[in-house]
Structure formats: structure tokens, C-alpha cells
């Protein structure tokens, strides 16, 4: 499927400009802008974040597949489906007590269970990438892949801990994309790391306001 999409999107994979001696494609430029807009909406708990997430995920799926980051590419397609779910959760979802879904903390049991499942999934995804793709960094590709699934689920349910997951995933991704010479994406994920800290502080203020 990704190869077919790559063929259709070939014109968008043409260089827009060169940075540090490496061509930056039009897809990476548009995905960069859409992703920053998305995070800004997430920080304000605005539902527009999810359509923007779908757009940026589709674009990054093509970019990562072209760079042989198949775990990240497949993850982006998964994100499209997860974004539909997250969009529904923010518009129509309910908390465990049946009330309106608002920013809140995960219970220790939920948090530790989610973390344990993520760590168990890491070697499984790495094995799949090593066994069925020509990925040259299966373990490094798999870690942000499973971490991003955790972050998306936490975000969809408005758990404040989603920002902690994104801080780790984004910081690790900076090194991964640097290794792949995706320099505009390196800048993006560096900004994401900082914005994740800002998002954590913003949601903490919302949580404090709700308790006041």
C-alpha cells in the first residue's frame, strides 16, 4: 500500500530546497507546518488537532517509507485511524464516571499497565521490522513507534501523562531522524520536545482550574 502511495505522491517527494547539503521535500515542508499547528491545537484542547493529525500522519507515512523507516511509516497510517477515534473522544467521549471527558490524571494502575504493555510491544515490533522489512534500524525504529501509540491513546483520553510520553518519544526521535538526515524533521521534533513541556504545563493549569 505504501509503495503505491509513494508512486502517486512522487511529485511531492521532489526537493523544495536544500538544507545542510540534504534536499528537503515538499511533503516534509507541508507536514512540518501541519504538525506544529496540530500541537498548538492540542495544547488548547481544540478538536481541530485531530484532522490536522490525520493530514500530517499521511504525509509523514510517505516521507518515512521513502526513508525506509517502515515502523514509523506504518505507525502514521495507524495514527490516521487513531485520530478518528481521538476526534470522536474529544467531541463525544465520556469519562469513566459517565461525565464529560476533561483533562485528568491516569490512575497508577492505568499508567503502569500502559507502560508495561508498551515495553512488551517494543521487542515484538522490532522483530517484525527485522524479519519482514529491510529496515536498517529496527530497534531504534520500534521504540518511538510503540511509544507513540501509548502517547496517542493517553492524548485521546485526555490523560495529562500523554505529554510525558511525547517528551520521551520526541527527544528520542530527534536522534533517529538525524541519523536518517531528515533535518527539517529533526528541527520539528526538537520543537515538539519543547512544546510537549509547554503542553504539560498548560494541561496542569487546566487541571488546577478544574479543581478550584
Each domain of the chain, given as residue ranges in start order, spans 2-93+110-211
Q: Each residue of 161-170: pLDDT tens digit?
A: 999 999 999 9
Q: Which of 42-46, 70-74, 159-163 has the lowest mean pLDDT?
A: 70-74
Q: Each residue of 128-160: pLDDT tens digit?
A: 888 887 778 889 889 988 999 999 999 999 999
Q: Each residue of 171-206: pLDDT tens digit?
A: 999 998 888 888 877 888 999 999 999 999 999 998
Backbone torsions φ then ψ of 65, nearest 5 degrees: -65, -40
- Model confidence at 19, pLDDT cuts 50, 70, 90, reads low
Predicted local confidence at residue 188, as pLDDT: 84
- Residues 6+ positions from 77 with CB-CB distance below 8 Å: 1, 2, 57, 58, 61
CA–CA separation, 72 vs 168, rounded Å? 16
Phi-psi category of residue 98: left, alpha or beta, with phi > 0 → left and psi -120 to 50 → alpha: left
- Residues 6+ positions from 180 with CB-CB distance below 8 Å: 67, 69
Length of the chain equals: 212
CA–CA separation, 45 vs 35, rounded Å? 15
**pTM exceeding the 0.85 threshold for the entire prediction:** no
Percent residues over pLDDT 70 in the chain: 87
Amino acid at each position: 500500500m505504501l509503495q503505491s502511495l509513494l508512486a502517486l505522491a512522487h511529485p511531492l517527494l521532489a526537493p523544495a530546497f536544500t538544507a545542510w547539503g540534504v534536499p528537503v521535500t515538499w511533503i516534509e515542508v507541508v507536514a512540518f507546518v501541519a504538525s506544529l499547528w496540530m500541537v498548538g491545537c492540542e495544547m488548547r484542547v481544540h478538536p481541530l488537532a485531530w484532522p490536522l493529525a490525520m493530514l500530517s500522519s499521511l504525509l509523514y507515512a510517505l516521507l518515512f517509507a521513502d526513508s525506509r523507516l517502515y515502523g514509523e511509516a506504518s505507525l502514521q497510517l495507524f495514527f490516521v485511524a487513531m485520530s478518528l477515534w481521538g476526534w470522536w473522544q474529544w467531541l463525544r467521549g465520556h469519562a469513566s464516571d459517565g461525565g464529560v471527558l476533561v483533562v485528568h490524571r491516569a490512575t497508577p494502575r492505568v499508567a503502569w499497565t500502559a507502560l508495561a504493555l508498551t515495553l512488551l510491544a517494543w521487542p515484538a515490533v522490532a522483530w517484525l521490522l527485522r524479519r519482514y522489512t529491510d529496515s536498517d534500524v529496527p530497534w531504534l525504529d520500534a521504540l518511538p513507534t510503540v511509544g507513540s501509540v501509548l502517547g496517542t491513546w493517553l492524548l485521546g483520553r485526555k490523560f495529562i501523562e500523554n505529554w510525558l510520553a511525547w517528551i520521551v518519544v520526541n527527544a528520542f526521535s530527534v536522534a533517529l531522524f538525524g541519523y536518517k538526515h531528515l533535518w527539517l524533521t529533526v528541527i520539528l521534533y526538537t520543537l515538539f520536545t519543547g512544546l510537549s513541556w509547554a503542553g504539560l504545563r498548560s494541561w496542569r493549569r487546566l487541571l488546577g482550574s478544574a479543581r478550584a
